[in-house]
Amino acid sequence: MAYETLFTPTTLGSLNIPNRVIMAPLTRSRTPDSVPGKMQEAYYGQRAGAGLIISEATNISPTARGYVYTPGIWTDEQEAGWKGVVNAVHAKGGRIALQLWHVGRVSHEMVQPNGQQPVAPSALKGEGAQCFVEFEDGTAGQHPTSTPRALETDEIPGIVDDYRQAAIRAKRAGFDMVEVHAANACLLNQFLATGTNQRTDQYGGSLENRARFPLEVVDAVMEVYGAERVGIRYDAVYRAVWFDRRRSGSDGVLHGGAALQARPGLPAPERAELGGRRHHLPCGFPRADA
């Protein structure tokens, strides 16, 4: 049978999964108040037959948002909502990971608390980039992003801590794993890519420096979940829409991924690629060449 392997069990880190179907994270924009509820319980519960569900990207803080109606994981109410979702998946014998998200510059003052500027590695607007906002007449739609401000060096530990707190809440809600979102032009991807990261401090410049923040986040989240229950998603393709082609060497994102993969404790690429051009990288695997 052509798909025999697809339906055989395997492990992801320390998680046993009964088949190799991994449901990709899919933003749905169905939580107007950012709190998952009955609709999300039904939606994810219906998909519990997957080996692993990776949830829609979930904002780690109010400033992490760039898309209205997406869920969060920074309040008690959101945590309780997610607990209901996890219970619905577990009740049907499934497993679910929470994807942790900060959009960085792919946002607008309209979506940010107190109308503040979105944050980014550097104060560079994403040319052609769109976020999702609610207009004054109550309708919602895509809208060009605004110019971000560059994060101060001493602000970065606070965002690392936001990821840590989000992971703590995810664990309390019962998620089987968490995935750090570092693909699709979100904040951590912006740090990895040369087109968006023009910093001169220890978070910019060399490959090691550009990967520093994403890896600090991975470390913080692994402290909460253990290495074998944490993944990172990074983008191996170069995106002209989200990154400024004129400023970015084509090495920007690709080599960012290489820096993540080269790190001891992270898996070799052939064991890491769970899907497509955007790789999901489970952190707790031994390297194949170790």
Ligand X SMILES: Cc1cc2nc3c(=O)[nH]c(=O)nc-3n(C[C@H](O)[C@H](O)[C@H](O)COP(=O)(O)O)c2cc1C
Binding interface with ligand X (CB under 6 A): 24-27, 56-57, 99, 181, 183-184, 233, 275-278
**236: CB partners within 8 A, 6+ apart:** 253, 254, 257, 277, 278, 279
Alpha-carbon gap, residue 253 to 192, rounded angstroms = 6
Q: How far is the CB of 289 from ligand X (least distance, A)?
A: 26
Q: How far is the CB of 276 from ligand X (least distance, A)?
A: 2
Q: For the chain, count helices (H), then strands (E).
A: 7, 12
Alpha-carbon gap, residue 113 to 145, rounded angstroms = 15
Alpha-carbon gap, residue 58 to 100, rounded angstroms = 5
* Nearer to ligand X among residue 71 and residue 204 (C-beta): 71
Burial of 180 by CB count in 10 Å (0-12 exposed, 13-18 middle, 19+ buried)?
buried
* Nearer to ligand X among residue 204 and residue 257 (C-beta): 257
* Nearer to ligand X among residue 30 and residue 263 (C-beta): 30
* Nearer to ligand X among residue 188 and residue 224 (C-beta): 188
Question: Do 201 and 254 meet the contact criterion of CB atoms below 8 Å apart?
Answer: no
Q: How far is the CB of 275 from ligand X (least distance, A)?
A: 5
Q: Which helix (H) or strand (E) holds 139?
A: none
The values of phi and psi at residue 57, to 5°, are -60, 135
* Residue, CB closest to ligand X: 276
Helix H, strand E, coil C: the string for 185-228 is: CCHHHHHHCCCCCCCCCCCCCCHHHHHHHHHHHHHHHHHHHCHH
* Nearer to ligand X among residue 56 and residue 216 (C-beta): 56
* Nearer to ligand X among residue 17 and residue 123 (C-beta): 17
Q: How far is the CB of 117 from ligand X (least distance, A)?
A: 23
* Nearer to ligand X among residue 144 and residue 276 (C-beta): 276
Q: How far is the CB of 57 from ligand X (least distance, A)?
A: 3
Alpha-carbon gap, residue 238 to 16, rounded angstroms = 33
